Structure 1
Amino acid sequence: MDLPYVIIFVVLLVLAYFYWKVPQGKYIKLSCISVLFFIGLRARVVGGDTIDYVRYFVGEFSIYSYYEHVEQLFRQYNKIMGILLFHNEVLYLLVHTFICLLPIYKLAQKESNSIPLSCLLFFVCGYYIHYMSALRQVLGLSILLWGIIYVIDKGKYRWIVFVLSGIVGWSFHSSVFIAFWGYLLCYFFAIKKKKIYYIGIIFTSLIGVVFKSFNVSDFFALLALNHISEMKRMNEYLSWGLVDTDLGIFTLLSSSIVSIIMIYLMDRNRVNSWALKLYWIGIMLTNLFYAVPMISRLTLPFSIMGIFCITWMFDSRYKLAQQSQKLKIKVLILLVIGYFSQSYVKQQIYYDLYDNMLLHPYYFFWQDYHKHPSLIQR
């Protein structure tokens, strides 16, 4: 068992429960600090490409490295960070993590009903993996998220700022190009009825997961004809080919089921929420392309909104339902939390030491990690 993952899960679960019972700021602070320290104080060997990013930062040479082609803005970012942080790898990971998580926290303040629960969902839904592996992508995404925050706040020249955030984010990682246009489309595309969400989720679940009638290969063949340079990152992931999955159909549909329950319980005034529309897009893309390697990285900018949206199950509509169907609603929510909880814990018990994500075993930076599988593979 990889205990650190189980411990962080239990800590966040307890804090989310305490906050549910008695909302207090201290539970928010403890939750956010726990996430920051867990991700930011990990050893350089924990998380897919972390070891190479650190080697690149401190100036070491690595046989396994594609950083000759890294975006120029990221190169400059590394140089500035090197000067400010004295090329200290521990400070680098901690500060980088803080920079990437800060816009998530700011969005949680605006969109989440329970920040401790959002922190818990960040782990249970697996989004933490990208923040421990795809350092360049999440940095680009964080810049784009600042653009969203500025638009939500109705700041002066907000659309100019949003466009600039997209350009700068893309300069760190080309996949931000896809997120930028998705975010823009969702903002201006109005949805006024919940049934639109139901139809989209059910339809993509049926053709993608249940009947598997969506011809993914043909879609990618068509996509391959696109020579736009900004699609390079997507085509790189897709070129790895399709893989069969051993996951059960209920596991594959679990995110769709949870999203439908959440939409049913949330208040109607959230129907046209920007965050909900983005989360909806993420669910549908996941349904259609669940068998594609690295699809979670491509859907991350959309699906991560789920850590806010899922907390909307506890809107006033839930409270009204609780009065008339108290036991049924509580059992339903407990089943949802219980299912994801046991799934997450199992992943930390029956883990693969040589999985591509290289998240196991977990070490803090002060531990002896010289026998970690990352050092063998890198």
Structure 2
Amino acid sequence: MIFHIYAAVSVILIILFILNNRSKKEGYLFLIGAFIVFFILAFRGPYIGGDTDDYCGYFNGKGGSYGTLDIYNGFEYGFYYFCKLLSLISRDDFFFLFITSAITLVPFLYLVKRDTKGNKILPLCLYMMCWRILQTTQTAIRQNLSVACLMIAFIILTSDIKNKKYKYILMSIFVFYGCISHTSSLVALPLLIGAFMIPFTKKTAFITVISSLVISLLFKNLFSNVFDVFFSFMRGVDMASHMLDTYYGNDDYALTNEVSFNRLGPSTLLVCILIYLSNKKDIKSPYFNFLVVGASLFNLGSVFPMISRTVYALLFFGIIFCPSDIKSGLFLRLRTIIIVLLFFFVRNQIVYASYGNSSQDLPYTFIWEKNDIRTLK
């Protein structure tokens, strides 16, 4: 696929977002957008996403950096037995990618359909364009399974199931399975609970988001210095020391990300606009808290390339939020600014995405195309 498919899909979603502000056929437009987003993830080739080829090699038995499913390699037991179960049906790459994509996106799309009160296309736009959420879903298959389990647990918790004992048992099962599917859940779960408990107002939300941007721009070495102190403190813990050495000494994960207003300012402005458009009922939404905390932590840790993975669960939940009054004629100018920002994100997709990079985003190939990205550079 020689053209920039992510930019093309993003432009289509922006058009749907604009149409949805003027149309009463929101359900049909959402289904179109959801289908496009699902298609781009589920029908990708096995080399799209930094770790996808290794996961496919692990599942289909051909091997790679992760070994093969036939020999236990130390993966979390939740993911290992999940793959074992799938392998009883098929060990085909497409089957593996389709099922894991469905598990990743279906809970998210369900929550958007159920809980997004404003324009239901906006979460799909943010999924494609902001905070590298799309790239994480393409790459971090174990983490996707874990976060999907937490989303399902949240769906159960907020459902109308009358038997509370059954509800909490079922919810606990999914939380537990999420925790044994990827260790990131041990970070994601406390972050989600902590964000949920913060009693934000419009004023405190503004202060939190704006101050995170100011701090990240004025004190660019803050995260590096904090990480250095933590790194030194944890030297005596064998497991922590090994993990830190693995990432700290790796160029792909070193503290080298660009910290600039051009990179962080537009997404921060978008969050501020969404805060401004929110009414008292919107502010009580847990998704509001997840978005504010997730965007703020992303700003503060922006020098760290893995920050998108660290706050992935927060932001994946957070982008479900959309103010109820976003379609109101009173906010036409602000809605226009949101559209301009979305096009700016498309511009960033084109400028910053490169062919044959380590994330293996481009050139994009579908599952039925020639899929060895290394021959397409």
Q: So what's the TM-score if we normalise by structure 2?
A: 0.86
Superposition pairs of residues 177-326 of structure 1, within 5 angstroms: 177-191=186-200, 193-212=201-220, 214-222=222-230, 225=233, 227=237, 237=247, 240=250, 242-246=254-258, 248-309=260-321, 311-312=322-323, 315-316=324-325, 319=328, 321-322=330-331, 326=332
**Residue 351 of structure 2 is aligned with which of 346, 351, 355?**
346
- Is 1:28 the counterpart of 2:30 in the alignment? yes
Q: Is the 2:123–2:319 Cα contact (8 Å) retained in structure 1?
A: yes
CA offset digits 1:259-301 (Å, max 9, x no partner)? 1111011222121321111111111211211011211101111
**Superposition map of 1:86-125 within 5 A:** 86-112=90-116, 113-125=118-130
Paired residue for 1:69? Answer: 74
CA contact (8 A) 2:45 2:368 kept: yes
Return the match for 2:154 from 129, 148, 152.
148
Contact kept, 8 Å, 1:48 with 1:358, in 2: the verdict is yes
Deviation of the 1:338 alpha carbon: 2.7
Q: Distance in 2 between matches of 1:250 and 1:133?
A: 25
Give, as a single letter, the amino acid of the residue that structure 2 aligns with 1:339: F
Distance, in Å, in 1 between the alignment partners of 2:144 and 2:340 is 31
1:238–1:293 contact (8 Å) kept in structure 2: no
Task: Work out whether 1:137 is the aligned partner of 2:143.
Answer: yes
Q: Are the equivalent residues in 2 in contact too, given 1:45–1:374 (CA < 8 A)?
A: no
Read off the aligned partner of 1:195 and give its amino acid letter: K
- How far apart, CA to CA, are the structure 2 residues paired with 1:115 and 1:234? 40
Distance in 2, Cα, partners of 1:120 & 1:137: 21
Name the amino acid aligned to 1:263: I
Deviation of 1:142 after TM superposition, in Å, equals 0.3
Residues 66 and 166 of structure 1, relative CA distance in 2, 3 Å threshold: farther
Kindly state the Cα deviation for residue 238 of structure 1 after the two structures are TM-superposed: 5.2
- Work out whether 1:79 is the aligned partner of 2:84: yes
1:200-223 deviation digits (Å, cap 9, x = unpaired) = 112222222233362533345326
1: CA distance, partners of 2:214 / 2:244: 25
Change (3 A) 1:374 1:257: farther
CA distance in 2 between partners of 1:308 and 1:234 (Å): 33
Q: Deviations over 1:168-187 (max 9, x none)?
A: 11111000111111222233
TM-score normalized by the length of structure 1: 0.86
17 and 316 in structure 1: CA distance in 2 versus 1, 3 angstrom threshold: closer
Q: Is the 8 A contact 1:42 1:364 kept in 2?
A: yes
Q: CA deviation at 1:87?
A: 1.3
Contact 2:143 2:182 in 1 (8 A): yes
Query: Is the contact between residue 49 and residue 360 of structure 2 (CA under 8 Å) also seen in structure 1?
Result: yes
Give 3-state SS (helix, strand or coil) of 1:87's partner: coil
Q: May I ask how many residue pairs the two structures share in their alignment? A: 362
Q: Kindly state the Cα deviation for residue 339 of structure 1 after the two structures are TM-superposed.
A: 1.8
Q: CA deviation at 1:138?
A: 0.7
Match of 1:9 in 2: 10
1:3-36 per-position Cα deviation (integer Å, ceiling 9, x unaligned): 3323322332333333222132222222111111
In the superposition, relative to structure 1, how do residues 230 and 344 fare at CA in structure 2: closer, same or farther (>3 Å)? same
Aligned residue number for residue 127 of structure 1: 133
CA contact 2:34–2:124 (8 Å) conserved in 1: yes
Q: Which amino acid aligns with 2:224?
A: V
What's the CA shift for 1:195?
A: 0.8
Q: SS of the residue aligned with 2:180?
A: helix
CA distance in 1, matches of 2:284, 2:239: 33
Taking a change above 3 Å as real, the CA distance of residues 121 and 209 of structure 1, as seen in their structure-2 partners, is same
Q: CA RMSD in A?
A: 2.8
Identity of aligned residues (%): 20
Q: Distance in 1 between matches of 2:181 and 2:169?
A: 19
Q: Is the 8 A contact 1:267 1:317 kept in 2?
A: no
Distance of aligned partners of 1:109 and 1:69 in 2 relative to their CA distance in 1, 3 Å threshold: same
**Kindly tell me: are residues 76 and 330 of structure 1, through their superposed partners in 2, closer, same or farther at Cα, counting changes over 3 Å?**
closer
SS state of the match for residue 311, structure 2?
helix
Contact persistence 2:57–2:63 (CA under 8 A): yes
Q: State the Cα deviation string for residues 287-326 of structure 1 (Å, max 9, x = none).
A: 21101121110111112234222x32xx33762633xxx4
- Matched position secondary structure for 2:66: coil
2:364 maps to 362
The alpha-carbon distance between structure 1 residues 31 and 320, as it changes in their structure 2 partners (threshold 3 A), is: closer
Task: Give, in whole Å, the separation in 2 of the partners of 1:152 and 1:209.
Answer: 38
CA separation of 1:234 and 1:73: change in aligned 2, threshold 3 A: farther
Q: Unpaired runs of 5+ in structure 1?
A: none
Which residue number in structure 2 is paired with residue 166 of structure 1? Answer: 175
